[in-house]
Structure formats: C-alpha cells, structure tokens
A and B are shown apart, each in its own frame.
Chain A
C-alpha cells in the first residue's frame, strides 16, 4: 500500500527566499508524480507532472525533481512571493491509476 509523506507540514518564509518542499513515498512502482497547489477551501491546481522516466520538470519559478529509487520528490520554488502562499500537495499515480496524496505542506510567504 502506497504511503506518501510531506515534510514539513507548515513553512513560513520571508518574501524572496528560495525554498524546497519534500515528498516521500514508499512504493517506487509509480507511473508519475504530480504536484498540486490548493488555496483555502478551493480545488486543486496542477503545477507539475513528472513521468516515472523523467528526473525533473520546470515551470517558471517552479522545479520538481523525482528520484524513484529513493522514493523522493522535491518542489523547489525560487524567489518566493506572497501570492505563493497556499497548501502544496504531492500525489503518486500507480498501476491502479488512482492518486495517493500526502497531507500537504502549508506555505506562508511573508511580505
């Protein structure tokens, strides 16, 4: 049974700082890993999708890496802004195609 863990549960940083969010998973037999952003009370916005054959994906100030062998992924956010404040969720997709989510990291970027 896949288990996904996100550390830290919450993070508070000053504006402009570079930061890394961590995601670990127990079963390396995944199709892909997806990072999402969730604003309070809202749905999920997909940020980056990394296929199992890929090592990283980039979109703007965001960079996500995947190391299947160690069961880890990181989301790097460069030059953080107050608008980046949200909860960030990672999810793995395996053979059953269902997503298994971590509990998320709540990010606060202070002006």
Chain B
C-alpha cells in the first residue's frame, strides 16, 4: 500500500499569492490532519478532518482553509501569503481514534 502522498514537494510563491497543497491518505484512513513546521520547531496543528467534516482547527488565521473530499483526500489552501508562511507543511492520516498517525514527506513552501 502507498503511504501518505503529498504534492507538490517544493513550491516557491510570492507574497500575496495563493497556494493549494494536496494530500492523499493511506487507503482506509478517513482522518486527515495538516501541520506546519518551521525550522527548528516541532510541527504545529492546523486542521483535522474526519469523514469530510472539520474536527479541529489550530491557532492559525482565516487565510488558512482546508477541505476533505469524498475519497478522503484533502487540500490545504493559504491565501495572501506572508513571508512567515514559509515552512514545511505536513499531512498525516489515521484510521481515527487512538490508532496513531502516519505522515507524508511534506511540502516545502518558500514565500519570497
């Protein structure tokens, strides 16, 4: 089985632009979460979706939004990009509950 796949792997955007990051979970996993990791820090929770419904949102501005599709894949959207949005964006999937999470390889976003 394929693991969690994220696309693209790297991305360079200009301040003020919009970006869409994509994630495909492990087959059978209905929960998808997004995390932001800046250099030298642990990942910070952004969103969690389960069965296409938002289950949780971290302390991020409204410029960040996400959705989950019927096939359980997910998109993370960020509007009006700031330099401070430069980070590694990680997607994780889970069967739900206390089964633990599997992470993808991440998308490295650089805002210039």
Contacts and interface: CB of A to CB of B under 8 A. Distances in A.
A72 interface: no
A41 B108 contact: yes
B106 A52 contact: no
Interface residues of A, number: 26
Interface residues of B, number: 31
Given A41-B108, A44-B103, A99 B43 contact: yes
Prevailing SS type, chain B contact patch? strand
Interface in A49-98: 49, 51-52, 89, 91, 93, 96-98
Given A41-B88, A103-B42, A104-B42, A97 B56 contact: yes
B104 interface: yes
Given A44-B43, A101-B43, A104-B42, A96 B56 contact: yes
17 contacts: A31-B98, A34-B101, A41-B108, A42-B105, A43-B6, A43-B105, A44-B103, A46-B100, A91-B42, A97-B31, A97-B55, A97-B96, A98-B56, A98-B58, A99-B43, A99-B101, A101-B44
Interface of B: 6, 31, 33, 35, 40-45, 48, 50, 55-56, 58, 88, 90, 92, 94, 96-106, 108
